[in-house]
Amino acid sequence: MASSPDGIPSPQPSRANGNINLGPSANPNARPTDFDFLKVIGKGNYGKVLLAKRKSDGMFYAVKVLQKKSILKNKEQSHIMAERNVLLKNVRHPFLVGLRYSFQTPEKLYFVLDYVNGGELFFHLQRERRFLEPRARFYTAEVASAIGYLHSLNIIYRDLKPENILLDCEGHVVLTDFGLCKEGVEPEDTTSTFCGTPEYLAPEVLRKEPYDRAVDWWCLGAVLYEMLHGLPPFYSQDVSQMYENILHQPLQIPGGRTVAACDLLQGLLHKDQRQRLGSKADFLEIKNHVFFSPINWDDLYHKRLTPPFNPNVAGPADLKHFDPEFTQEAVSKSIGCTPDTMASSSGASSAFLGFSYAPEDDDFLDC
C-alpha cells in the first residue's frame, strides 16, 4: 500500500502461517506513569478518554482508559479486542483516528490515540441546529471515504452517529470508536448481531434479519438527514414508536433541499437493503451520486479541500469544543498510578492477551 497522505509510510500487515500479523504484540516499556493526565474529554460504558501529555517529549494524546473488571462483567472483551484490531488496520487513513500504541496494567487497558480537539460533530450540530448543504456534503463525503475504506478491509462499522464523528484542529472529519465493528465480512457475507444506537438502526437490524455492509450506508443517510434537518429521520422520544417509524413510516423530507440532496437521502434511507444506494457497488455508488458532483475525491482524500468550518483552536490545551460536563470532572489519581502496586487476577490477564501493541517505528508526526 502506498504512503499515507501525510507522507508517512503505512505499516504493512504481513502473513505468517496463514494468519495476519498486525505487528509487535507487546509493549513492555509503556506504563501510565509515562503521562501527565490533564483533563477528562470523554466518557464511555467502560471508562474515560483523557487528554494526556507524554512526559518524554511533551506530545499530547487522547488516552482511552478502560476498566477490565467492567468489560469482563459484561462479557465485552471480544468487542474491545476487535476495536484494537480495527485501530491497527486503519493504516493512517486521513479520516480515521490513529492508534499510536496500546498497553495494559492488571486492572486497566490503555489506548493511546491521536488527540483531536475540534469537537464532536454532535457538539457543533447541537449548537447550530443544522448545517447548510455544502457543509453537510463535505462532512458526509469525508465520512463516506472512511466507511468505504473500512469496507475495503471487510470491516462493517455499525455505529455511525454524530457523537463518533470528530473534527480535527483544521475542521476535517476523524471517525472514532470502533467497539462495534465487525471484522472479516466479505462483500457477499452477512452478520446478525443486534447492535448500534437506536436512532440510527437500519430496518434489517431491527427486524433481526441477516444484514451486510449496507447498514453503514443507512447510518450515513441518517447522519446526513440530521445535519440538514436537526433530528434523525424517524426520530421519536418514544423508542418503540421510533422503531415503528424506521420499519414502516415513509421517509419525510422537509422542503428547502435540493433535488440532489433529496435523492441521496431517499437512496441511502431505502428500507430494503437490497435496493439501498451502496448495496451493489458499495462506496463507488456513493461517490458517483450527483449530490457529490462538486467534490474532487482525490483532493478530498489528500486534504486539499478547505473545510467549511474552522474550529479555531489555539493549541492542544484549547478545550472549548469539549463538553464542560467532561472537562470539569476531576481526573482520578488512580489513572496514572504505578501498575506494580495493583493486584492482578489470572482471568483479567488472560482475557486480553495480545492487547498491548507497540509499532516498530514510534517516530510519528503530530498535528
Rounded CA gap, 265 and 223, in Å?
A: 10
Evaluate whether 139 touches 165 at the Cβ level (below 8 Å).
yes
Rounded CA gap, 92 and 153, in Å?
A: 13
Evaluate whether 286 touches 228 at the Cβ level (below 8 Å).
no
Evaluate whether 146 touches 138 at the Cβ level (below 8 Å).
no
Rounded CA gap, 204 and 298, in Å?
A: 33
**Residue 48 annotated as binding?**
no
Rounded CA gap, 363 and 284, in Å?
A: 34
CA dihedral 336, 49, 4, 152 (to 10 degrees): 130
Q: Tell me whether residue 57 is one of the annotated catalytic residues.
A: no
Phi and psi, residue 105, nearest 5°: -115, 175
Catalytic residue among 159, 168, 177, 282: 159
* Strand ranges inside 105-190, DSSP E: 108-113, 165-167, 173-175
DSSP letter string, 283-339: HHHHHTSGGGTT--HHHHHTT-SPPS------STT--TTS-HHHHTSPPPGGGGS-G
Q: Which of 165, 158, 173, 291 is nearest to 218 (CA)?
A: 158
What is the maximum span of the chain, computed from C-alpha positions, in angstroms?
63
Q: Which of 89, 41, 87, 79 is nearest to 62 (CA)?
A: 41
Q: CA 300 from chain center: how many Å?
A: 19
What are the residue numbers of the active site?
Answer: 159
Q: Which residues are annotated as a binding site?
A: 73
Q: Which residues are annotated as a binding site for ATP?
A: 73
